[in-house]
Structure 1
């Protein structure tokens, strides 16, 4: 299947061209990108067409650093519901983990991973194997967009500690320096942003567990429609819907997906997981969101997650986070989950 990008990502190019007084429509038409797709929240654009669009934008502007300015035109809707899930995240670490988990929504040609090293966290951008490299402008815009989203949530003072870029040093290096406000290594072996863990763990004023969960559900539904073969996403979505009833058996999930239990188990095993693991992961993620929402009692959370009694939920929460739900609520910086490598 040809790699694709969510169509709303192309809107940053449109806005960046307009800001320079350049009519975007002829550029999009030359690239073979249907401008009507920009108004369709679920539309996707082939990576090959996006590469032509980025290259043409650089050509018509004559700016080799066009990606830097384009990335700053990012808006929460640029990333579909993932943008709103980001804004509702408790911390930037949680927001980044969401981006890592749902990168496929933005682009099927890209993967992200975080690596925690001491007091630092690296966000590494990687191209999917057997996919042609994206244009330099697109890679530039992606890194800039992530930092811009961080500043939207954290404040304009936010800066990465360091930046690594595979691209050669550009003639307009000052644009990169002004944007990132951090040391930049050009010609690096990978593209990465390095953050201070303390910055990522600061509680954000925009955090809202209920809205984050709702946005996650929208993302899962979108991915389930977009990629019918992604049985992991479809099973996760069904588990989120079935948890309050407590009816999350393999039989119930398989029926909802129109599969036999054996077929469901085989497909999940092929993706290196199982229904039990997905159930545990989904409960843990939702528990961390719900506990931060002080309006929900432990009893209500117990019901929403399908546990038989509050004591069972409390034991599970302690196993996941090393503390009780009440202790987590008293710890302002608790972000729930401390995996050092989220893939």
Structure 2
């Protein structure tokens, strides 16, 4: 009766529903799943819950799952291969129907084990030909950004990044920078600045401030980078802080560009020029792909989402260069909110 599958009178239905409410009865979902052979459980594999960009995607996935009646089990691997393997084993043991691996470096052999046990697998913000995936073209965007600056006779282009490469999206940005520099006949290693991953995690930035400050102090002023490209906005914020503390004028002496277009971009003075990507769109595409796979519907196995260059106060690129490189862009020199900065009403 509770499933509306039995034919009974309205009077009987009302009495039963009243008893259900009085006894605070809840259906046994586990028993129901055994009968239907569907658990309505899906997993989310992640590495870092502190990311401002990914946390919005996590919330979006959680809401979408709840709306569809799925239980989203969130597993954090903390960049530990053994823990990631254990998390996948846990999902298999609890008969999860599918899993979304968000921006992770989970071994493909572990994901293959899940797939072989019947779990549908979707990679989110990473690529592998072995699995369905949703990603951004980080490599091409960063490579073309370098081309844009070189076209304006900018030759001293620095890249600041975390030194341990464990995430596909940031690795692609690094590779795009290196290839862009090589395309222009420039040395990609000369102005690379590597930050320690453990120090940059959880926004423990003190030593990272010192890293860029030390770099400026050790480098003659006429050898300073003209442009600093950063792996993400939080690093760009640290770079701006370090440079202005040293009396460097931004963007007059050094231009700084971030990546992601998080709230860091407008909470920095000057406001950051950056690369915008939408975490809610990323989550929606991954979730829709997984739902289609679970329901046996046709869906493209590879989706690539658009990124957009956002020009604010910390750096500028000539529109002709952006258009020649086919980079979408917008100009926000006034005090406007980025896509990810949504204050409560």
Identify the TM-score tier after normalising by the shorter chain: under 0.3
Q: When you count helix as a share of all residues, which structure comes out higher?
A: 1
Larger Rg: 2
TM-score (norm 2): 0.23
